[in-house]
């Protein structure tokens, strides 16, 4: 995602201490199955090339606790004024507020709306901006299917060899 000669979001302007200033913006995301996402934001002066390091690197990790709960771990950094502890605390408070009071209630409401049904069963309206999430869901479904098939294949092979179930779990299931 690239936005040349544009105003960054309010939080980015606050983070970089550059309110009302147009900048070039480059955003790169990387998803690693099953649930880790890195997002790096590069910001530079208008007319200048992309900087070598991201201005705002972030990492998001999701770990299912059970069928209805997921743990969310996140980290966000910045490359400017890294020794300004007060500014760091204001930024942290802003992120916590956004995650706890904006993102979390919306995600919880969507989860309740699903009512235990599969996402695809709800026949969602997909927008062009959903393409990355749709690709991730499809890849994850294929990985889960392959993992389940592999486990079944190993179990059948173990039964043919009379391998105890305990040995199966010790082999990495």
Q: What is the pLDDT of residues 45-100, one digit of tens each?
A: 899 999 988 889 999 999 989 988 999 999 999 888 899 999 899 889 988 998 99
Q: Predicted confidence band at 173 (pLDDT cuts at 50, 70, 90)?
A: very low
Chain-centre distance of CA 72, in angstroms? Answer: 9
User: Quick check: 33 and 61 in contact, CB under 8 A?
Assistant: no
Q: What is the sign, positive or negative, of the torsion defined by CA atoms of 18, 19, 25, 28?
A: positive
What integer pLDDT is reported at residue 83 of this predicted model? Answer: 93
Q: Predicted confidence band at 152 (pLDDT cuts at 50, 70, 90)?
A: low
**Residues near 88 by Cβ (< 8 Å), separated by ≥ 6?**
82
Segment holding 165, helix H or strand E: helix 165-170
HSE of 157, CA atoms in CB hemisphere, 13 A: 9
**Nearest to 95, CA basis, from 45, 134, 39, 133:** 39
For 31-47, b/e burial (b = at least 16 CB within 10 A) is: beeebebbbbbbbeeee
- Number of Cβ within a 10 Å radius of residue 53: 9
Q: Predicted confidence band at 164 (pLDDT cuts at 50, 70, 90)?
A: very low
| 136 pLDDT above the threshold of 80 | yes
| 166 pLDDT above the threshold of 60 | no
What integer pLDDT is reported at residue 128 of this predicted model? Answer: 92
The secondary structure of 80-111, three-state, reads CCCCCHHHHHHHHHHHHHHHHHHHHHHHHHHH
What integer pLDDT is reported at residue 145 of this predicted model? Answer: 87
What integer pLDDT is reported at residue 160 of this predicted model? Answer: 60
């Amino acid at each position: 995602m690239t936005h040349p000669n544009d105003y960054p979001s309010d939080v980015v302007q606050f983070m970089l201490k550059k309110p009302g200033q147009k900048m070039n913006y480059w955003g790169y995301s990387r998803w690693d199955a099953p649930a880790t996402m890195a997002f790096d934001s590069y910001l530079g002066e208008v007319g200048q090339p992309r900087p070598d390091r991201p201005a705002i690197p972030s990492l998001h990790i999701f770990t299912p606790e059970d069928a209805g709960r997921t743990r969310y771990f996140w980290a966000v950094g910045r490359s400017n004024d890294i020794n300004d502890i007060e500014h760091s605390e204001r930024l942290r408070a802003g992120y916590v507020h956004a995650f706890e009071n904006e993102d979390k209630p919306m995600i919880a409401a969507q989860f309740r709306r699903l009512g235990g049904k599969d996402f695809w069963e709800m026949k969602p309206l997909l927008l062009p901006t959903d393409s990355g999430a749709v690709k991730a869901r499809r890849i994850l479904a294929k990985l889960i299917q392959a993992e389940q098939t592999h486990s079944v294949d190993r179990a059948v092979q173990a039964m043919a060899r009379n391998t105890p179930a305990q040995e199966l779990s010790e082999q990495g299931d």
